[in-house]
C-alpha cells in the first residue's frame, strides 16, 4: 500500500506544481486523510495498543493487553520538556469510552476515565528481586556524590550476600547443558519402564487365561502380598 501511494500518482492535466505545490493541496485534502479529520482541535487518530489489562466500566468486561483501537491522541500538558498525551477510544464491546494518559515520570500509563486497571503488580522485594531505583533516587544519584557512594557500597553488599545463591543457580544450570546426554538417559529409562510394563501385561494375560477370567488385573502391590500372607492365619470359619 505504501509503495502504491508513493509511485502510482495521477497528475491531472490542469495540475501546476508552482501553483498547487502538491497533489494534496490540489485535492484540498490532508496527507493523513481520515486520521486528520479533527486536527484543527489538536486531535490525531492513531492506532493505539492497550498497554495493560483493564476492566471496562461500561460493560464490566475484561480487555487484554495488546488489544488495538483507533484512538484520538491529544496533547494535554508537559512533564518538564516531555509532552503528556491523552488517548480516547471506544470500547469494542459497548458504547463506553476509555481515556488513558501517558505518565512520563513513572514510564507508565494511567487511566483517566472509563476503566480500571487489573492489578497484576507486586512488590519485587517480596520475591527477593533487585529493586529498581525510583525517580527520586536517580535524581539524587546524579546530583549527590555522597549518596552515590553510599548507594554503591550498599549494592556491593547485596551482591556479596547473593553471590552463593547465584553460584548454586549457575551450577544447576550448567548441569542441564548436556541436552544429548539428558535425552539419552531419559529415553533409556522409558525403554526400561516400557519393557517392564510389557512383561507385566504378558504375565497378567497368561494368569487370566489359566483362571478363565475376563476382568483386567491390577498391578500387585506390597500391601497385597502382606494381606495374602495373613490369610493363612485366619480360622476355618
- The domain spans of the chain are 17-117, 132-175
pLDDT score, position 25: 78
Q: How confident is the model at residue 233 (pLDDT cuts 50, 70, 90)?
A: low
3-class secondary-structure state, position 144 = coil
Contact 89, 97 (CB under 8 A): yes
Q: What is the pLDDT of residues 128-156, one digit of tens each?
A: 666 666 777 778 878 888 888 887 888 78
Identify the residue whose cell numbers are 476492566.
55
Q: How confident is the model at residue 99 (pLDDT cuts 50, 70, 90)?
A: very high
Q: For 84-97, what is the mean pLDDT?
A: 94
pLDDT score, position 222: 83
Q: For 51-72, what is the mean pLDDT?
A: 93
* pLDDT exceeds cutoff 70 at 212: yes
Instruction: At 101, list the grid cell.
Output: 494518559
What pTM does this model have? 0.48
CA dihedral 131, 133, 135, 139 (to 10 degrees): 160
Query: For the ranges 7-11, 74-78, 159-163, 186-190, which has the lowest average pLDDT?
Result: 7-11
Q: What is the pLDDT of residues 2-46, one digit of tens each?
A: 555 555 577 888 888 888 778 777 777 777 777 888 878 888 898
pLDDT score, position 232: 67
pLDDT score, position 23: 78
Query: For 134, phi and psi rounded to 5 degrees?
Result: -80, 165
Q: For 201-227, what is the mean pLDDT?
A: 82
* pLDDT exceeds cutoff 90 at 72: yes
Residue 70, C-beta contacts closer than 8 angstroms, at least 6 positions apart: 45, 46, 47, 48, 89
Buried b (16+ CB within 10 A) or exposed e, 66-88: eeebebbbbeeeeeeeeebbbbb
Instruction: At 29, list the grid cell.
Output: 485534502
Contact 115, 56 (CB under 8 A): yes
pLDDT score, position 144: 83
Amino acid at each position: 500500500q505504501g509503495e502504491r501511494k508513493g509511485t502510482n500518482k495521477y497528475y491531472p492535466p490542469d495540475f501546476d506544481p508552482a501553483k498547487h505545490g502538491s497533489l494534496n493541496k490540489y485535492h484540498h485534502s490532508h496527507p493523513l486523510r481520515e486520521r486528520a479529520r479533527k486536527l484543527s482541535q489538536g486531535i490525531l487518530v492513531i492506532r493505539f495498543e492497550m498497554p495493560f489489562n483493564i476492566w471496562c466500566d461500561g460493560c464490566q468486561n475484561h480487555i487484554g493487553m495488546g488489544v488495538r483501537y483507533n484512538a484520538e491522541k491529544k496533547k494535554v500538558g508537559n512533564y518538564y520538556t516531555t509532552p503528556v498525551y491523552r488517548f480516547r477510544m471506544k470500547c469494542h464491546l459497548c458504547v463506553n469510552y476509555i481515556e488513558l494518559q501517558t505518565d512520563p515520570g513513572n514510564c507508565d500509563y494511567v487511566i483517566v476515565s472509563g476503566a480500571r486497571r487489573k492489578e497484576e503488580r507486586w512488590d519485587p522485594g517480596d520475591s527477593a528481586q533487585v529493586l529498581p531505583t525510583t525517580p527520586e533516587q536517580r535524581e539524587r544519584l546524579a546530583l549527590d556524590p555522597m549518596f552515590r557512594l553510599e548507594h554503591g557500597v550498599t549494592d556491593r553488599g547485596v551482591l556479596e550476600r547473593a553471590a552463593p545463591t547465584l553460584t548454586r543457580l549457575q551450577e544447576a544450570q550448567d548441569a542441564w547443558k548436556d541436552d544429548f546426554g539428558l535425552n539419552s538417559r531419559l529415553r533409556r529409562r522409558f525403554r526400561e519402564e516400557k519393557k517392564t510394563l510389557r512383561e507385566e501385561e504378558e504375565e497378567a494375560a497368561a494368569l487370566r487365561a489359566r483362571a478363565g477370567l475376563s476382568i483386567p488385573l491390577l498391578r500387585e502391590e506390597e500391601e497385597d502380598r502382606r494381606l495374602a500372607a495373613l490369610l493363612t492365619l485366619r480360622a476355618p470359619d
